[in-house]
Structure 1
Amino acid sequence: MSGHFRSIPVQVSQEFPQLPQFSGFMKPCRFEGEIHNLEVHGSIPADIDGTFYRVMPDPHFPPTVENDPWFNGDGNVSAFNIKAGRVHFKQRYVRTEKFLREKEAQRALLGKYRNKYTDAVEFKVRSTANTNVFYFNGKLLACKEDSPPYAMNPETLETVGLWDFDGQLPSVTFSAHPKIDPITKELISFGYEAKGDGTPDICYYTVSPDGIFTEVVWMTAPVLAMIHDFAVTQNYVIFPLIPQTCDVNRMKQGGEHWRWDPEIPFYIGVLPRRGAKGSDIKWFRAPNAFPGHTSNAYETPDGDILFELPISDKNVFFWWPDAQGNAPDPHQITSNLAQFIINPNSEDMKLSPTYVLKEDVEFPRVDDRVSMSKHRDVFCLLMDPALGTDFPSIAPVMGGGYPPYNSVAHYNSLTGECVKYFAGKTHLMQEPVFIPRAGGSEGDGWILLLVNNYGQMASELHLVDTRDFSKAQAIISLPVRLRAGLHGNWVDGQDLQLIEN
């Protein structure tokens, strides 16, 4: 072994660290297999036909870094196929380079989160493929934003391999949150640190429905910061920079990839979607804040851009503090749904948010059919203490994942009405997906999501009709417990063109 890579002893203990991110409900699952005809309480409408794909970080070996962030685990993809009122479940790990080499070594080899200088061996591609999974052009793509995606067979979940779009991918990174234009069916995506760790380069690209790259634009970020999600309108792309900044010298000394910087503004980049050059991007500035996942963006009749997402005035990733070691109390972190009105032709780069839903929310979704155009309905996770979650009872078994959310909210942006689905005092929610009702208007359909039942230490799928948020239409019991996931998507059966390897 040479270079910066360090020797580590063969691990004798197979025990995961006794820390919250590896304990209780967050104990690694490590299940692969399939189970047909899951138990259904209630009824699933016959016209729901498709597959809910989601991915969770799920380490298959105890980590080399004891206090590893919970989202540094191996990507384990779940598929819930729903047809004729029945649910079939399948789960498989993404066969990344990391997964295969660790399986051969029978121990963990990866070091700190996004710090190759702490690895035991050199990886060509370091990805865990654990952040999002989505379907495009016949392939299921498992993504993590520090690398290209891995392609999987959407029917079998077998890994096809690292996917560079037949050699067209211009950057070494690919967003975990690509967007599909509901009208043109184009894939719109980007990579940040696009020339490798510690580079300020951003590469934006558009891919035609048949997989051909049509737009490629290289840009330079004003600060070397995280860009986890972005938004797209008919004519623009919007890049929100999280004030977590990278320093390669810090990494080489064994430090973290990211460090919170409370002194820099919240930058929002706006680039024309078509025919642009890198110099065309404008970097607007808002007060320092942590942007969450975007719900949507669209253009108003007078040519402005409305950009909507939850933001927090605190460092949501509190485990990466600032240079002085300051970090907020996680119990005091909240994010509220905010909107920015941006004039793309303005020479005034200052922006201020308007808060439209002053409740603690995250993981917003809109009806994909109205994505990139004006929307009315937003579905998101919400924490409402007044609903009566029994935290004294469930806290000992919760483990440590993302902040707890005890309900799913349906927010109507026209009326301001916000209705909530609450599953019970010992239940917390994972990211929802929206399933449209055939022939229905915007927001008419169902919400499907995984729910953590801490009373039974079990995972459940809850199906909620958007016409009645007072109860679940169906609760599907899982015989395995699935730890917190990150992201997933619903793929309608008619869009799922199954392929064979």
Structure 2
Amino acid sequence: MAGHFRSLPPQASQKFPPFPQFSGFMKPCRFEGEVQNLEVIGSIPLELDGTFYRVMPDPQLPPLIEDDPWFNGDGNVSAFRVQSGKVHFKQRYVRTEKFLKEKEAQRALMGKYRNKYTDAVEIKIRSTANTNIFYFNGMLLACKEDSPPYAMNPETLETIGLWDFNGQLPSLTFSAHPKIDPVTKELVCFGYEAKGDATPDICYYTVSPGGRFKEVVWMVSPVVAMIHDFAVTENYVIFPLIPQTCDIERMKQGGEHWQWNSEIPFYIGVLPRRGAQGSDIKWFRAPNAFPGHVSNAYEADDGQIMLELPISDKNVFFWWPDAQGNAPDPHQITSHLAQFAIDPKASNLDITPQIILKEDIEFCRIDDRFSMSKHRHIFCDLMDPRLGTDFLAIGPVMGGGHPPYNALGHFDEVTGKCEKYFVGPKHLVQEPVFIPRSLDAQEGDGYLLALVNNYELMTSELHLVDTRDFSKPQAIVLLPIRLRAGLHGNWVEGQELELVPN
């Protein structure tokens, strides 16, 4: 790697660049600390006992690349401990190699998103640990899909360090969306670009509840493309490839890691979950589309795999255009819930989606107790301009880069009904998590919890909504600070937090 690093000019300013992704509500927060007994409007059910963890890209210093995408900020993890009707808040940065080197230098050192050839110094593990925060085997795993995760203490949020599962991790990378099988409790995961930047290799693996690796399968992708999320059923794993492709020569010339390609299909890889070899994967082809976050997948009675996720006909990551520099107007991008019926034994690999919900949605969640099996209820973020969001008032302070959603959605696949909880005319919502009312409650009976941006006060709120009465909040928790747009998070039951890692 020696010789490709940028020379550092004298630093003239510590000010963040005047771009939308660093302005208004998206101005970096850079806060660490804790606040006990947050204000609560309404009431939090006493039976709720757990912690909502979420992570946001939050640069601690102005970036080396002035027009840096908001995806490239340092991972800052929030923990909302809910117990006895009260909420306590704690936040800490993940101490990645990047974070520590830049903290010592008091300036940014890492260059473009996932392009080591633009760095000012060598950073061996370039992770920002900013995409998902996941609990497994007694530890929090701060995930970024270009590297192994970082382990954190779930109570203190102290960084334990880079985590390779005690030397077992076979891949250089680890998904930002690992899945827990609700029956076996095993972790199902993968890494893409698994042998390094621009390599077509995918490594799939499963981990026992005690932390021991079981299945390990190496595969080759038809194109080097982003695989942000994936799906799991009882007998299969499914890999949706986003048509953002990578080229190592472009990176070496200082270009972007990702480039949109509208000329290739939307590939969906299907691999037997157990006892497979890499050659067993089938790459199904759908019309070019941008796949969003998987809601779920399951096997129907006839043996077909039913995969559900939002798709868009436009490049959702518009800040990474195609080879000609074409990118869509972000205001024209919408995603609709699609269902793919995939016959894993088929010889014809061409498939077509069916749109089952025409609302503009993303960040789908289900009742995780029904993950990998047939589900009925989907919860999501939703944008409905008819609900009355005052964009004239909030537009100047929203900031940019992140997609705007003004409601939480609850889609019942049996009735076809989509309920909407509108968060307010000067508010937008971030990704929700579903909390069952009890461990034995019926599917979808519980609460939805989501961070909400209050643009009038420029502060953040937590909204708790009862799925039995989706029209109004059960409780609104007020934060004295502003938390910029995050990516992903998860709810962890209090009894799980008592586990000791193996």
Scaled to the shorter chain, the TM-score interval is over 0.9
Q: Is the 8 A contact 2:234 2:373 kept in 1?
A: yes
Deviations 1:151-179 (A, max 9, x none): 00000000000000000000000000000
Instruction: After TM superposition, give the deviation of residue 10 of structure 1 in Å.
Output: 4.2
Q: Is the 8 A contact 1:264 1:288 kept in 2?
A: yes
Aligned: 1:445 with 2:434: no
Q: Tell me the amino acid that sits aligned with residue 315 of structure 2.
A: N
Aligned to 1:61: 61
Aligned to 1:366: 366
Instruction: After TM superposition, give the deviation of residue 498 of structure 1 in Å.
Output: 5.4
Write the mapping of 1:388-403 to structure 2, written as runs, cut at 5 A. Answer: 388-403=388-403
Deviations 1:428-458 (A, max 9, x none): 0000000001131000000000000111111
Q: Is the 8 A contact 1:155 1:499 kept in 2?
A: no
Q: Is the 8 A contact 1:153 1:500 kept in 2?
A: no
Secondary structure in structure 2 of the residue aligned to 1:430: strand
Aligned to 1:101: 101
Aligned to 2:475: 474
Q: Is the 8 A contact 1:155 1:498 kept in 2?
A: no
Q: Is the 8 A contact 1:10 1:107 kept in 2?
A: no
Aligned to 1:27: 27
Deviations 1:222-249 (A, max 9, x none): 0010000000000000000000000000
Secondary structure in structure 1 of the residue aligned to 2:386: helix
User: For 1:95 and 1:391, how far apart are their aligned partners in 2?
Assistant: 37
Q: Is the 8 A contact 2:69 2:401 kept in 1?
A: no
Aligned to 1:462: 463
Aligned to 2:7: 7
Instruction: After TM superposition, give the deviation of residue 6 of structure 1 in Å.
Output: 1.1
Q: Is the 8 A contact 2:139 2:501 kept in 1?
A: no
Q: Tell me the amino acid that sits aligned with residue 223 of structure 1.
A: V
Instruction: After TM superposition, give the deviation of residue 348 of structure 1 in Å.
Output: 0.5
Q: Is the 8 A contact 1:154 1:499 kept in 2?
A: no
Aligned to 2:325: 325
Deviations 1:177-231 (A, max 9, x none): 0000001000000000000001000000000000000000000000010000000
| Distance change (3 Å), C-alpha of 1:301 and 1:85 | same
Aligned: 1:345 with 2:322: no
Aligned: 1:37 with 2:41: no
Q: Tell me the amino acid that sits aligned with residue 488 of structure 1.
A: G
Secondary structure in structure 2 of the residue aligned to 1:401: coil
Deviations 1:366-416 (A, max 9, x none): 000000000000000000011011001100000013210000000001110
Q: Is the 8 A contact 2:240 2:268 kept in 1?
A: yes
Aligned to 2:129: 129
Aligned: 1:234 with 2:229: no
Aligned to 2:181: 181
Structure 1 residue ranges (4+ consecutive) displaced by more than 3 angstroms after TM superposition: 498-501
Q: Is the 8 A contact 2:362 2:382 kept in 1?
A: yes
Secondary structure in structure 1 of the residue aligned to 2:202: strand
- Scaled by the length of structure 2, the TM-score of the pair is 0.99
Deviations 1:283-333 (A, max 9, x none): 000000000000000000110000000000011111111111111111111
User: For 1:388 and 1:394, how far apart are their aligned partners in 2?
Assistant: 12
Moved more, 184-193 or 316-325: 316-325
Aligned to 1:274: 274
| Distance change (3 Å), C-alpha of 1:302 and 1:500 | closer
Question: Alignment length, in residue pairs?
Answer: 501
Q: Is the 8 A contact 1:30 1:60 kept in 2?
A: yes
Q: Is the 8 A contact 2:137 2:501 kept in 1?
A: no
| Runs (5+) with no aligned partner, structure 2 | none
Instruction: After TM superposition, give the deviation of residue 13 of structure 1 in Å.
Output: 1.1
